[in-house]
Chain A
Amino acid sequence: DSGVTQTPKHLITATGQRVTLRCSPRSGDLSVYWYQQSLDQGLQFLIQYYNGEERAKGNILERFSAQQFPDLHSELNLSSLELGDSALYFCASSRSGANVLTFGAGSRLTVL
């Protein structure tokens, strides 16, 4: 157990729907990162939050949004889902000033 908790582990939904993925970082970690792993794009950085504020943005679609709450957990919202959004979504966390990211087990999203 890495200490980073992601729910749900698996999710199957239909095109056009909206889902929310949740992440609880390791105790004491202020930064949360979201990554997407798909067959065609590999592992890609989506977005980073630090202590509730957006810090960096990567290849995140406009249909996707995220936020980090005061208790430091984070949610990734995916809307108007398309078949191509099927992927493994990872959350990672790190301590302030740390150089190492610790990843959760991932949420596997299947869009039918």
Chain B
Amino acid sequence: GIQVEQSPPDLILQEGANSTLRCNFSDSVNNLQWFHQNPWGQLINLFYIPSGTKQNGRLSATTVATERYSLLYISSSQTTDSGVYFCALNTGFQKLVFGTGTRLLVSP
């Protein structure tokens, strides 16, 4: 089956720092989504990004489908950015295969 690997598994940042999270996948992508799971467990859509680059405020994402990876950039991190970041691939009928996640802790 499709393999989705995320790195790093854990990341600790000081408030204000920038970071890059990576998602590698083993198969061609129909679409790819990035999610943030906050400390209360809520899964929040960040980006739908099968290819190219998108930006939303301090967050941006880039997917290079031909090389089977996606990157999530967080700039000027804030404590509210803490949580787990997942990438997920759509394998058909919106059946998402999730990566193992990157756990981010932003300290004040």
**A residues engaging B (CB < 8 A)?**
2, 31, 33, 35, 42-45, 48, 55-56, 58, 88, 90, 94, 99-103, 105-106, 108
Which residues of A lie under 8 Å from residue B43 when comparing CB positions?
Answer: 90, 103, 106
Q: Does B17 have its Cβ within 8 Å of any Cβ on chain A?
A: no
Cβ-defined contact, A45 with B97, below 8 A: yes
B61 to chain A, nearest CB (A): 14
Main secondary structure of the interface of A (DSSP, over half): strand
Specify which of B48, B95, B96 lies most central, judged by the most chain A CB atoms within 10 Å of its CB: B95
> From B99, which residue of chain A is reached at the shortest CB distance?
A42
Specify which of B31, B90, B94, B100 lies most central, judged by the most chain A CB atoms within 10 Å of its CB: B94
Cβ-defined contact, B93 with A48, below 8 A: yes
Which residues of A lie under 8 Å from residue B31 when comparing CB positions?
Answer: 99
Given contacts A43-B96, A45-B95, 15 further A-B contacts (CB under 8 A): A2-B44, A35-B96, A42-B98, A42-B100, A43-B86, A43-B98, A56-B95, A58-B95, A99-B31, A99-B48, A99-B50, A99-B90, A103-B35, A103-B43, A108-B41
Cβ-defined contact, B33 with A55, below 8 A: no
| Per-residue interface assignment for chain B, residues 15 to 40, with 1 indicating a CB less than 8 Å from any chain A CB and 0 otherwise | 00000000000000001010100001
> From A98, which residue of chain B is reached at the shortest CB distance?
B94
